[in-house]
A = this chain, B = another copy of it.
Amino acid sequence: MQIDPRSHRPIYLQIADGIRAAVAAGIYRPGESLPSLRSLAIDVQVNPNTVQKAYDELVREGLIFARRGKGLFVDEQGAASAQTHAQNVIRQTFENGIRTGRAAGMPNKQMRNIFEGSLRDTADGEN
Protein backbone atom coordinates (compact mmCIF):
# COMPACT_ATOMS: atom_id res chain seq x y z
CA MET A 1 0.00 0.00 0.00
CA GLN A 2 1.28 3.41 -1.03
CA ILE A 3 1.10 6.36 1.39
CA ASP A 4 2.03 9.84 0.20
CA PRO A 5 3.01 11.83 3.32
CA ARG A 6 3.06 15.07 1.32
CA SER A 7 -0.54 14.71 0.17
CA HIS A 8 -3.12 16.89 1.90
CA ARG A 9 -5.33 13.82 2.10
CA PRO A 10 -4.95 12.56 5.68
CA ILE A 11 -2.94 9.37 6.06
CA TYR A 12 -5.82 7.55 7.70
CA LEU A 13 -8.01 8.19 4.66
CA GLN A 14 -5.24 7.08 2.31
CA ILE A 15 -5.03 3.83 4.27
CA ALA A 16 -8.81 3.40 4.17
CA ASP A 17 -8.71 4.00 0.40
CA GLY A 18 -6.05 1.31 0.06
CA ILE A 19 -7.99 -1.30 2.03
CA ARG A 20 -11.19 -0.44 0.18
CA ALA A 21 -9.45 -0.90 -3.15
CA ALA A 22 -7.91 -4.18 -2.00
CA VAL A 23 -11.31 -5.52 -0.97
CA ALA A 24 -12.82 -4.31 -4.25
CA ALA A 25 -10.00 -6.09 -6.08
CA GLY A 26 -10.75 -9.32 -4.22
CA ILE A 27 -7.42 -9.37 -2.40
CA TYR A 28 -9.37 -9.70 0.84
CA ARG A 29 -12.55 -11.73 0.37
CA PRO A 30 -15.79 -11.70 2.41
CA GLY A 31 -15.30 -13.38 5.78
CA GLU A 32 -11.51 -13.25 5.53
CA SER A 33 -9.40 -11.45 8.08
CA LEU A 34 -7.50 -8.23 7.41
CA PRO A 35 -4.02 -7.32 8.62
CA SER A 36 -4.00 -6.52 12.33
CA LEU A 37 -3.73 -2.91 13.53
CA ARG A 38 -0.14 -3.40 14.65
CA SER A 39 1.10 -5.32 11.62
CA LEU A 40 -0.39 -2.85 9.14
CA ALA A 41 0.99 0.02 11.22
CA ILE A 42 4.50 -1.43 10.89
CA ASP A 43 3.88 -2.14 7.23
CA VAL A 44 2.96 1.45 6.29
CA GLN A 45 5.31 2.99 8.88
CA VAL A 46 2.62 4.75 10.83
CA ASN A 47 1.26 4.84 14.36
CA PRO A 48 -1.28 2.08 15.22
CA ASN A 49 -3.78 4.78 16.21
CA THR A 50 -3.77 6.06 12.65
CA VAL A 51 -4.49 2.60 11.27
CA GLN A 52 -7.21 2.25 13.88
CA LYS A 53 -8.83 5.45 12.60
CA ALA A 54 -8.70 4.09 9.05
CA TYR A 55 -10.32 0.79 10.05
CA ASP A 56 -12.89 2.69 12.12
CA GLU A 57 -13.89 4.55 8.97
CA LEU A 58 -14.43 1.27 7.12
CA VAL A 59 -16.36 -0.29 10.00
CA ARG A 60 -18.77 2.63 9.91
CA GLU A 61 -19.12 2.21 6.16
CA GLY A 62 -20.10 -1.40 6.77
CA LEU A 63 -17.26 -2.74 4.64
CA ILE A 64 -15.58 -4.60 7.50
CA PHE A 65 -16.34 -5.58 11.08
CA ALA A 66 -14.21 -6.09 14.18
CA ARG A 67 -14.15 -8.86 16.78
CA ARG A 68 -12.33 -7.93 19.96
CA GLY A 69 -9.37 -10.23 20.52
CA LYS A 70 -9.94 -11.93 17.18
CA GLY A 71 -9.29 -9.40 14.46
CA LEU A 72 -10.91 -7.54 11.59
CA PHE A 73 -12.93 -9.24 8.89
CA VAL A 74 -14.44 -8.35 5.54
CA ASP A 75 -18.22 -8.14 5.81
CA GLU A 76 -20.19 -10.64 3.72
CA GLN A 77 -22.27 -7.89 2.14
CA GLY A 78 -19.46 -5.37 2.33
CA ALA A 79 -17.34 -6.59 -0.59
CA ALA A 80 -19.95 -5.74 -3.18
CA SER A 81 -20.42 -2.31 -1.69
CA ALA A 82 -16.64 -1.77 -1.91
CA GLN A 83 -16.86 -2.17 -5.68
CA THR A 84 -19.54 0.48 -6.06
CA HIS A 85 -17.82 2.70 -3.52
CA ALA A 86 -14.57 2.52 -5.52
CA GLN A 87 -16.49 3.40 -8.69
CA ASN A 88 -18.04 6.41 -7.01
CA VAL A 89 -14.68 7.63 -5.77
CA ILE A 90 -13.15 7.29 -9.23
CA ARG A 91 -16.06 9.05 -10.87
CA GLN A 92 -15.86 11.83 -8.31
CA THR A 93 -12.15 12.23 -8.99
CA PHE A 94 -12.63 12.37 -12.75
CA GLU A 95 -15.40 14.93 -12.37
CA ASN A 96 -13.15 17.12 -10.24
CA GLY A 97 -10.49 17.05 -12.95
CA ILE A 98 -13.05 17.78 -15.63
CA ARG A 99 -14.50 20.68 -13.68
CA THR A 100 -11.01 22.16 -13.34
CA GLY A 101 -10.57 21.79 -17.10
CA ARG A 102 -13.94 23.41 -17.78
CA ALA A 103 -13.02 26.32 -15.52
CA ALA A 104 -9.84 26.77 -17.56
CA GLY A 105 -11.84 26.74 -20.80
CA MET A 106 -10.50 23.40 -21.96
CA PRO A 107 -12.51 21.56 -24.66
CA ASN A 108 -13.62 17.93 -24.17
CA LYS A 109 -11.29 16.75 -26.89
CA GLN A 110 -8.21 18.01 -25.05
CA MET A 111 -9.39 16.44 -21.79
CA ARG A 112 -9.84 13.10 -23.53
CA ASN A 113 -6.26 13.41 -24.80
CA ILE A 114 -4.97 14.09 -21.31
CA PHE A 115 -7.00 11.17 -19.96
CA GLU A 116 -5.60 8.76 -22.55
CA GLY A 117 -2.12 10.01 -21.78
CA SER A 118 -2.71 9.35 -18.09
CA LEU A 119 -3.93 5.82 -18.82
CA ARG A 120 -0.77 5.17 -20.82
CA ASP A 121 1.60 6.71 -18.27
CA THR A 122 0.20 4.78 -15.33
CA ALA A 123 0.03 1.46 -17.21
CA ASP A 124 1.77 -1.27 -15.26
CA GLY A 125 1.68 -3.99 -17.88
CA GLU A 126 -1.60 -5.52 -18.98
CA ASN A 127 -4.81 -3.56 -18.62
Give residues in A with beta carbon < 8 Å to B.
Answer: 2, 5, 8-10, 13, 17-18, 20-22, 24-26, 47, 60, 67-69, 82-83, 86-87, 89-91, 93-108, 111-112, 114-115, 117-119, 121-122, 124, 127
Contacts and interface: CB of A to CB of B under 8 A. Distances in A.
Among A2, A22, A91, A121, find the residue whose CB has the most chain B CB atoms closer than 10 A. Answer: A91
Number of copies: 4
A127 to B, nearest CB: 5
Contacts of A124: 102
A121 B102 contact: no
A8 B17 CA distance: 15
Contacts of A89: 97, 100
A76 to B, nearest CB: 16
A119 B127 contact: no
